[in-house]
Amino acid sequence: MKLIKNITLALCLVGVNLINAQQKPIKYESFKIEKGEFKFNGQAVKLHSGEIHYARIPHEYWRHRLKMVKAMGLNTIATYVFWNYHEIAPGKWDFQTGNRNLPEFLKIAKEEGLMVILRPGPYVCAEWEFGGYPWFLQNDKDMKIREYNTPFLNSTKAYFTELYKVVKPYLIVNGGPIVMVQGENEFGSFVAQREDIKLEDHKKYSSSVFDQLKEVGFKGMEFFTSDGDWLFEGGALPGALPTANGDEDPENIKKEVKKFHNDEGPFMVAEYYPGWLDHWAEPFPRKAAERVKSHIEKFMNNDISFNIYMVHGGTNFGFTSGANYDKTHDIQPSMTSYDYDAPITEAGWETEKYLKLRELLKTSSTPPIPAKIPVIQIQGIKLSQAIDLENVKNNVKPVINDNPLTFEQLNQGHGYVWYSKNFNQPIKGTLKLDGLRDYAIVYVNGEKVGELNRYYKKYECEVNIPFNGKLDILVENMGRINYGAAINKNTKGIISPVFINDRKITGDWEMYGLPFEKAPVIDAKQKSDLKENRPTIYKGSFNVSKVGDTFLDMRPFGKGIVFVNGINLGRYWSVGPQQTLYLPGCYLKKDNNEIIIFEQKNNKINKELNTLSEPILDKLIPENGSN
């Protein structure tokens, strides 16, 4: 039976490829905004677009996801370019390896007959780390991010210059699929949030960034801006089509676009939300499929183009997820899954929403839905080794300073820093970490005494440090804020003095950087050192009879990150609502797969791990956030 199923699946895939191969290739000759319409190759066209971020999808699956988009009936994709994903260190660029290979993504989009809307920022929001800005920009004290000043504009110019080099062949003016380029992003929101800056100064900045795009080579392309239509005054730019975010009322959209675009269209909703963003410790948002279909149908009936944000969300692998904040929470970290309740799930599956939209959008030339990537379950992955994180930390040379230093001052972007302080006299009272960014576990002489968390605004715990005692504080960066006025205050670690009672604790702070850019190495000969309530690194290995997608069941664990075959799958946290981690089958091999789990809390000892055939993204356990 299994053999028959595999042969059937193979035949289905061959059939899909033959159908696509028989379709006439699309010519990319021209794209213009003329007389209130989009014109593609001289013909009026409506953009039926879906947002999809190449950085959030394994590059091995790019073609599958783009085929899914095409099979839903869309003719266009939109994608952000995340500046910090490509400038991996100051002046060091990567547009070629793995998921960073933007030219390859654009090549596949062209082969699949899709138009592309490029959204280069430099600010992107997108629930992405720091809204796309490189963390190290904050080390230039003369720089004001997202404001008119020479250091920042020099940096944006360098980014746009590098970007243009790699996308130039894929612009419509050069026969490529990129038909429009965005100038800045949601800048009207920033203008509303930063009322301390004059509108003319805001405009001076946004105009300068827009001019830079043209100066580096994008001149001749069609440009657009993207804002809530009630924020066009702050966000619209002369020479760029204003498009609406989040509005579902055709009358409002048309009225506001006309006001800022010579009393004519074309009209477009650049971000229509079929779901919504997801934070740790908060309910998973859902949006009914019928409601989404009715909104898209309304756009179509009113000659409004649209971009579904997101049509497929993907995954915030590694440390790429960002964060928000509100009056109740000083940070709201985004989940690892960026499923978004989108029409195409995190793992690339069609949903009821997908099928309803396909019913509405498909034409006689719409291809069939691609076959689902195989899914497997793995039971009883043995975690054969476990060591205390202190064993890893002891191999790191500490930085010593009178006061704690931030991640940025330590030249570290992500991960963890272990802060340590020895006391030659006893002291007890309330430890105050008002400058915690973002999450910490506190130890006295190796014993856990507290858990502090910026989400819950918990910055204090009681300590009793004896003579010759030691205070250790393990701090996690849970992702830099990506939206709002606080984006300019995004340093991490311990960013202000530490107090016990009213006494400032200074002198000989030791700081051990644990960025975990790669999986920590555990020597096979190293003896296990396993204790509850101590930060622990688990290691295991497993084989599979066949390769396929699966979901790590992290419910028995507390908080941490997971590497499989050296790839950081992202963060987990038992508070939920996400309780699983997506493990793409393309990251597996049949023999000798290695798994490394860094478990920060380790409230209980775990000896094995299982996987599931479906994700758990909506199981909230609030009580797990405070213990």
In-domain check, residue 1: no
Q: What is the mean pLDDT of residues 26-36?
A: 97
- What is the predicted pLDDT for the residue at 627? 62
Measured distance CA(435)–CA(515) in Å, rounded: 20
In-domain check, residue 95: yes
Find where tokens 């918990």 sit: 458
- What is the predicted pLDDT for the residue at 6? 42
Q: Are residues 610 and 558 part of one domain?
A: yes
In-domain check, residue 457: yes
Q: Are residues 205 and 102 part of one domain?
A: yes
Is 127 considered catalytic here? no
Q: What is the mean pLDDT of residues 323-349?
A: 98
Can you give the residue range of the structural domain that contains 260?
26-361
Residue 473's CB: how many other CB atoms inside 10 A?
Answer: 24
Q: What is the mean pLDDT of residues 366-371?
A: 98
Instruction: Look at the pTM and tell me if it is higher than 0.85.
Output: yes
Measured distance CA(473)–CA(329) in Å, rounded: 22
Q: Is residue 19 pLDDT above 90, yes or no?
A: no
What is the residue-averaged pLDDT of the chain? 95
In-domain check, residue 221: yes
- What is the predicted pLDDT for the residue at 556? 98
Q: Does residue 266 have a cis peptide bond before it, meaning omega lies within 30 degrees of 0? A: yes
Q: What is the mean pLDDT of residues 584-610?
A: 97
Q: Are residues 107 and 57 part of one domain?
A: yes
Helix (H, G, I), strand (E, B) or coil at 556: coil
pLDDT band at 547 (very low <50, low <70, confident <90, very high): very high
Find where tokens 């016990």 sit: 500
pLDDT band at 552 (very low <50, low <70, confident <90, very high): very high
In one-letter notation, the amino acid at residue 428 is: K
Which are the contacts of 528, defined by CB distance < 8 A and separation ≥ 6? 385, 386, 387
Q: Are residues 489 and 449 part of one domain?
A: yes
- What is the predicted pLDDT for the residue at 417? 98
CATH no. for residue 557?
2.60.120.260
State the Cα angle at 531 between 529 and 532, rounded to 5°.
155
pLDDT digits (tens, 9 = 90+) for 397-450: 999 999 999 999 999 999 999 999 999 999 999 999 999 999 999 999 999 999
Residue 248's CB: how many other CB atoms inside 10 A?
Answer: 16
Q: Are residues 452 and 544 part of one domain?
A: no
pLDDT digits (tens, 9 = 90+) for 279-312: 999 999 999 999 999 999 999 999 999 999 999 9
Q: Are residues 302 and 198 part of one domain?
A: yes
pLDDT digits (tens, 9 = 90+) for 207-233: 999 999 999 999 999 999 999 999 999
- What is the predicted pLDDT for the residue at 5? 37
Measured distance CA(339)–CA(311) in Å, rounded: 10
In-domain check, residue 603: yes
Helix (H, G, I), strand (E, B) or coil at 306: strand
Which are the contacts of 288, defined by CB distance < 8 A and separation ≥ 6? none
Find where tokens 């003719």 sit: 75
Q: Are residues 473 and 577 part of one domain?
A: no
Q: CA quadruple 291, 294, 298, 299: dihedral positive or negative?
A: positive
Q: Are residues 207 and 130 part of one domain?
A: yes
pLDDT digits (tens, 9 = 90+) for 448-471: 999 999 999 999 999 999 999 999
Q: Are residues 501 and 536 part of one domain?
A: no
Q: From 474, 507, 540, give the residue that closes a domain.
A: 507
- The token duo for 272 is 């229509």
How many structural domains compose the chain?
A: 3
Q: From 455, 475, 507, give the residue that closes a domain.
A: 507
Is 271 considered catalytic here? yes
In-domain check, residue 157: yes
Measured distance CA(17)–CA(262) in Å, rounded: 45
Spot the catalytic one: 184, 222, 256, 271.
271
pLDDT band at 7 (very low <50, low <70, confident <90, very high): very low
Q: What is the mean pLDDT of residues 476-501?
A: 97
pLDDT band at 24 (very low <50, low <70, confident <90, very high): confident
CATH no. for residue 247?
3.20.20.80
- What is the predicted pLDDT for the residue at 23? 62
Q: From 292, 327, 361, give the residue that closes a domain.
A: 361
- What is the predicted pLDDT for the residue at 186? 98
pLDDT digits (tens, 9 = 90+) for 149-185: 999 999 999 999 999 999 999 999 999 999 999 999 9
In-domain check, residue 396: no
Q: Are residues 207 and 60 part of one domain?
A: yes
In-domain check, residue 9: no
Q: Is residue 346 pLDDT above 90, yes or no?
A: yes
Q: Are residues 35 and 157 part of one domain?
A: yes
Spot the catalytic one: 37, 51, 87, 186.
186
pLDDT digits (tens, 9 = 90+) for 104-135: 999 999 999 999 999 999 999 999 999 999 99
pLDDT band at 524 (very low <50, low <70, confident <90, very high): confident
Give the DSSP per-residue string, 24-74.
PPPP---EEEETTEEEETTEEE--EEEEE-GGGS-GGGHHHHHHHHHHTT-
Measured distance CA(244)–CA(229) in Å, rounded: 5
Q: Is residue 389 pLDDT above 50, yes or no?
A: yes
- What is the predicted pLDDT for the residue at 240? 98
Phi-psi region of 436 (alpha: psi -120 to 50; beta: other; left: phi over 0): beta
Give the DSSP per-residue string, 317-330.
-TT-B-EE--SS-S
pLDDT digits (tens, 9 = 90+) for 70-82: 999 999 999 999 9
Q: Are residues 287 and 413 part of one domain?
A: no
pLDDT band at 529 (very low <50, low <70, confident <90, very high): confident
Measured distance CA(589)–CA(111) in Å, rounded: 28
